[in-house]
Amino acid sequence: MKVAVVQHTICENQIEWNLQQITSLFDQQSGADLYVLAETFATGFMAEDATAHADVQGARILSWMKQQACRLDAAVAGSVAMVDEDGVLRNRLYFVRPDGTFDYYDKHHLFSYAGETKDYVAGNRRVVVEWRGVRFMLQVCYDLRFPVFVRNHGDYDTIIYVANWPQKRRDVWQTLLKARAIENQCFVIGVNIVGSDKYCEYLGDSVIINAYGKAIAQCTSGEVGTAAAELDMDELNRFRRKFPVLEDAD
């Protein structure tokens, strides 16, 4: 399983510009089975226009994800501000397959510090999707700080974290990604943006980490780009059998 992380900038509310940039980055990293984008990758986090027009914009972004998944013959994952069937706003992480089918996870831990709870409604379920022999747990940004919700019960192999994580909390991002990989004996994929918005500066530090807590692929800090790694399931399963952390868990 080849996974590519796509580290990009976000021009707030400039959906078409953002999607064009990301399409170009996809083409720089061909042949992956899965491409992972950041949180609210097409609009920016809590962008006012995205919140106000999430019904139309969310549908447009999901359509683009389906087109790209088909074109690349790969899954595409990333979060979108989306109005659901009940008319409420969700920070929704889509996992889209080449045939147009998809699963989704609604961000469970909304970022109250920045006011996300004022407009968005939290999800209440864990979501694991299987793709080409690998099971992925879907998570969004602030979820990274809450290990109990994501505790591995033997039901997944990889956690995906998509984020808009600021430079000033860079050490937390890097430390907790490693911790989640080690304690859950799994791969961790962390994708963050670069650049700046009216709130923060972002360095990216997008990375793929193995179950030993070691980075096996990473983007250059502060730069737009991609990185890719093979998720070796045979190696992961050998490690789990040899050192049965999950079987000994509380």
Q: Give the Cα separation of 218 and 208 in Å (integer).
A: 6
Count of CB atoms situated within 10 Å of the CB of 55: 13
Ramachandran category for residue 65: left, alpha or beta (phi over 0 → left; psi -120 to 50 → alpha): alpha
Among residues 66, 107, 178, 219, the one annotated as catalytic is 107
Among residues 116, 141, 178, 219, the one annotated as catalytic is 141
Count of CB atoms situated within 10 Å of the CB of 222: 15
Q: Give the Cα separation of 221 and 118 in Å (integer).
A: 32
E-strand stretches of 108-193 = 128-131, 134-140, 158-162, 187-191
Instruction: Verify whether residue 223 is a known catalytic residue.
Output: no
Instruction: Verify whether residue 183 is a known catalytic residue.
Output: no
Residue 18 Cα distances to 61, 117, 164, 191, 225, angstroms: 10, 25, 15, 16, 14
Among residues 2, 11, 12, 39, the one annotated as catalytic is 39
91: burial class by Cβ within 10 Å (0-12, 13-18, 19+)?
Answer: buried
Instruction: Verify whether residue 200 is a known catalytic residue.
Output: no
Q: Give the Cα separation of 142 and 155 in Å (integer).
A: 22
Residues known to be catalytic? 39, 107, 141
